[in-house]
Amino acid sequence: MSSLKEELKINNQDRIWFVKYWAKYMRTHSDKDWSKQQKYFIDSLIKR
């Protein structure tokens, strides 16, 4: 059980790391750059 807790803690830390990593990427790249990646992701899930 304690190893599962540890894994969940690591997973949570990793999610926070990714949110910060992506936001930093956005801050240092053009809107066109990051939005192209976001569009690819969202359009694969939502069709018009």
Partner 1 sequence: MVKIMKFKDNEIIIEKYLNNLDKFVLDFLKILEKHSDYVIVSGYVSILFGRTRTTEDIDILVPELLIERFKELYKDIKAKFTCINSSNINELFDLLNTKHPIRFIKKGNKDFAPNIEFKFIKNEISHETFKNRIKVKMGKNIMFISPIELQILYKEEILKDRKDLEDALHLREVFKNKLKKEKLKYYKSIIDKYV
For partner 1, the binding residues (CB under 8 A) are: 12, 15-16, 19-20, 22-24, 26-39, 41-43, 45-48
Q: How far apart are CA 39 and CA 20, in angstroms?
A: 19
Q: Which is nearer to partner 1, 4 or 46 (CB)?
A: 46
Minimum separation from the CB atom of position 17 to partner 1 (A): 11
DSSP state of 29: S
Measured from the CB atom, is 9 or 15 closer to partner 1? 15
- Asked if residue 36 lies in contact with residue 44, where contact means CB atoms within 8 angstroms, the answer is no
